[in-house]
Chains A and B, each alone.
Chain A
Amino acid sequence: MLSPKLVSRRSHMGTNVAIPVVLLAAFSVAPMVYANQAVIFQMMAFMVLAQGVNLLYGFTGYLPFGYVGFFGIGAYGMAIGIELFHLPGLVALVVGALFSVIVALILSPLLRLSGAYFAISSLAASEVLYNVVANPALVHLTNGPYGESLVQSYHPETSYIAMVVLLIVTTIIVIVIKNTAFGRALMAIREDPVSAEMAGIAVVRTRTIIWIVSAVIAGLTGAIFGWHLSVFYPSTVFDLSISILAIVFTLFGGGGTAIGPILGSVVLYGLYNAIGISDPQYFELIYGLLIVLLVLFLPGGVVSLLQRRGNYVP
């Protein structure tokens, strides 16, 4: 006889396993059903970014307005790998990830800051990265403001598969972190760093690890994104609205869960495609209103409606 508690744990295990499986199935079939592959690809990119934001904001409470900095550096690291070292695309992705790790390590002192100070400083850091990469003085390394063109290594299918893999791996990372002691340590730090430290959690080490993990996630997303596009400008990959959309998607679905950011990306990116491309200002208006209403009435996101009734949310 299994105890009721054990049964419910097993069924939670089932829902958790179902998420990556459903995602894998959906995005493997999607290109055959829906002709506009660019839309599907970008939706995946935003899903990964939203999960990256989720790891930082949902679990740790650091709101990274400048998250796009890692994305852009990943894209440029990949481009440098292809242009300067003539690496094949898949290896160049690793270069992109390495660049984002280096930047994350340089920026890790930002984690000493709290609340608003962290959020705005991370925004400042991403603007610094953008202005350095786009500076005409770096024209030999990054081609400055004139952008990168990697047409010789344009592989839309391979990069699509790479993004699916990244999405699945990221989702599994979030689920694993959420269900292990590491995730609970992060949430303890979010609630009260002093008590967490006293309970024996290595606060500085834990938050630095999650910072680097989420930086690598954004860096790889940027690298695969840049590879998929193969022609991009600094203003494309350091566009602040990338961080903003990822944050809003996470908030809408609900941070600190695995399903929230996925839900937010599907619903809001769908909305963005329906009205955002032709009339971006109306989309901006709607999501501005949505943010205000969410903060005032539903700070836990859509999933908190389920959680409030005592349901388990993966």
Chain B
Amino acid sequence: MLEYSLIAGILFGVFFGFMALGLNLIFGVMQVVNLAHGDFVVLGGYLAVVAYSSAHVNPLMSLILALVLFVVVAYVLYFPLIPRLTKSKDPEMLSLILFFGLSQIIEALDVIGFGNNPRSLPLAIMGSVPLHFLGQNYQMAWVITALVSLIMIGVTYGFLYYTRIGYAARAVMGNRDEAMASGLPVAQTSAIIFAVGIGLAAMAGVMSPFMIGSIDPSTGLGLTTIAFAIVVIGSLGNPLGSVLGGLVYGISVMLMQTYFSSWSNLVPYLLLLIIVLVKPSGLLGRGVRNA
């Protein structure tokens, strides 16, 4: 039982780390809390479900579709929303409310477009033979999702550390004003990171029906909270921090489900509270008022 919880925890943890990655990037670069993050994940999930049920598109193909589609959508959304926000008096607080409104809009559109019923993908699409490891069986879909997540985290890492936009993004994360003073294209970088962050959320969404069972319009807010907890546990802007946060979350959830199953819903919320209260600066270092 213990081995099973640990290994399943790692598989889930890698996925949830990937799920939180986009929130991490956007928060890091723009100081904007994308409360609609979970809703973009859910939209990615709907894309996969609809593509599979109407045209038998394999979710692995939907991944690419989701990335392209949502990068474009987010890039278009950036210009009316973010520049006005960053100029306002209290961008962090106002962004919370603004993206909360966006999240309500997406939820409402989900209900109008897809109905209230939970939708899911059959696990057997990814192969019906379970992976046998250390005497336990694991769903093939979980293993493949974890692999996809690892690859995408690696790609994001490469993007941040080995491309010009990635350098610029990390400079903006470090200090926005200095980045601007050194002549970096801060606005352009922000727009690209915003688009990439939401594209990544939608990609994680494509795989999410395998990991969270089913999706419905109200799944989003819970996913946002989980992602926020993971971002706080890990460290800002560093994709490896998201993996760490994801692993902590995944393993704790699996252990709770095995040993105290009726309390396992509490895990993300308790983890978040413990982290912000016990180590209030978080690994992000920005969590505390000065007084």
Closest beta carbon of chain A to B132's beta carbon, Å: 35
Does A288 contact B105, Cβ atoms closer than 8 Å? yes
- In the bound complex, residues from chain B placing their C-beta under 8 Å from that of A31 are none
Distance between Cα atoms of A77 and B272 in the complex (Å): 26
The one of B94, B266, B282, B288 in contact with A128, judged by C-beta atoms closer than 8 angstroms, is B266
Distance between Cα atoms of A135 and B103 in the complex (Å): 28
Does A240 contact B290, Cβ atoms closer than 8 Å? no
Contact with A along B233-269 (1 / 0, CB 8 A): 0000000000000000000000000000011011011
Does A131 contact B266, Cβ atoms closer than 8 Å? yes
Considering only residues 116-153 of chain A, those with a C-beta below 8 Å from chain B are 116-117, 119-121, 123-125, 127-128, 131-132, 135-137
Stretch of B56-64, B108-116, B197-205 contacting A (4+ beta carbons < 8 Å): B108-116
B287 at the interface (CB under 8 A from A): yes
Interface size class of B (residues with CB under 8 A): 35 or more
The one of B105, B266, B273 in contact with A285, judged by C-beta atoms closer than 8 angstroms, is B105
Considering only residues 59-107 of chain B, those with a C-beta below 8 Å from chain A are 80-81, 84-85, 88-90, 92-98, 100-107
- In the bound complex, residues from chain B placing their C-beta under 8 Å from that of A289 are 101, 105
A115 at the interface (CB under 8 A from B): yes
The verdict on A63 contacting B269 (CB below 8 Å), with A285-B108, A292-B98 known, is: no
B173 at the interface (CB under 8 A from A): no
Contact with A along B124-146 (1 / 0, CB 8 A): 00000000000000000000000
- In the bound complex, residues from chain B placing their C-beta under 8 Å from that of A61 are 90, 93
Does B272 contact A287, Cβ atoms closer than 8 Å? no
- In the bound complex, residues from chain A placing their C-beta under 8 Å from that of B92 are 115-116
B19 at the interface (CB under 8 A from A): no
Considering only residues 51-93 of chain A, those with a C-beta below 8 Å from chain B are 61, 63
Does A127 contact B280, Cβ atoms closer than 8 Å? no
Distance between Cα atoms of A254 and B33 in the complex (Å): 22
Does A116 contact B93, Cβ atoms closer than 8 Å? yes
For A203, the closest partner residue in chain B by CB is B291
Does A291 contact B225, Cβ atoms closer than 8 Å? no
Distance between Cα atoms of A194 and B277 in the complex (Å): 21
Does A127 contact B290, Cβ atoms closer than 8 Å? no
Main secondary structure of the interface of B (DSSP, over half): helix
Does A292 contact B105, Cβ atoms closer than 8 Å? yes
B147 at the interface (CB under 8 A from A): no
The one of A124, A197, A204 in contact with B269, judged by C-beta atoms closer than 8 angstroms, is A124
The verdict on A128 contacting B263 (CB below 8 Å), with A113-B280, A193-B289, A289-B105 known, is: no
Distance between Cα atoms of A109 and B273 in the complex (Å): 10
Q: Number of A interface residues at 8 Å Cβ cutoff, please give it.
A: 49
Distance between Cα atoms of A309 and B93 in the complex (Å): 26
- In the bound complex, residues from chain B placing their C-beta under 8 Å from that of A113 are 276, 280, 287-289
Does A114 contact B288, Cβ atoms closer than 8 Å? yes
The one of A197, A203, A288 in contact with B102, judged by C-beta atoms closer than 8 angstroms, is A288
Distance between Cα atoms of A154 and B64 in the complex (Å): 58
Considering only residues 290-309 of chain A, those with a C-beta below 8 Å from chain B are 290-292, 294-296, 299
- In the bound complex, residues from chain B placing their C-beta under 8 Å from that of A288 are 101-108
The verdict on A196 contacting B111 (CB below 8 Å), with A116-B33, A288-B102 known, is: no
Does B289 contact A299, Cβ atoms closer than 8 Å? no
Distance between Cα atoms of A124 and B272 in the complex (Å): 7
Distance between Cα atoms of A127 and B95 in the complex (Å): 22
Considering only residues 274-293 of chain A, those with a C-beta below 8 Å from chain B are 280-282, 284-285, 287-292
B16 at the interface (CB under 8 A from A): no
Does B94 contact A295, Cβ atoms closer than 8 Å? yes
- In the bound complex, residues from chain B placing their C-beta under 8 Å from that of A292 are 81, 98, 101-102, 105
Does A296 contact B98, Cβ atoms closer than 8 Å? yes
Closest beta carbon of chain A to B227's beta carbon, Å: 10
Q: Lowest 7 A-B CB distances belong to which pairs?
A: A291-B101, A288-B104, A288-B105, A285-B108, A193-B291, A284-B108, A124-B269
Q: Which residues of B contact A (CB under 8 A)?
A: 33, 80-81, 84-85, 88-90, 92-98, 100-109, 111-112, 221, 225, 228-229, 232, 262-263, 265-266, 268-270, 272-273, 276-277, 280, 282, 286-291
16 contacts between A and B (CB under 8 A): A61-B90, A109-B277, A115-B92, A124-B270, A125-B269, A128-B269, A197-B291, A284-B107, A284-B108, A285-B108, A291-B97, A292-B102, A294-B101, A295-B85, A296-B98, A299-B89
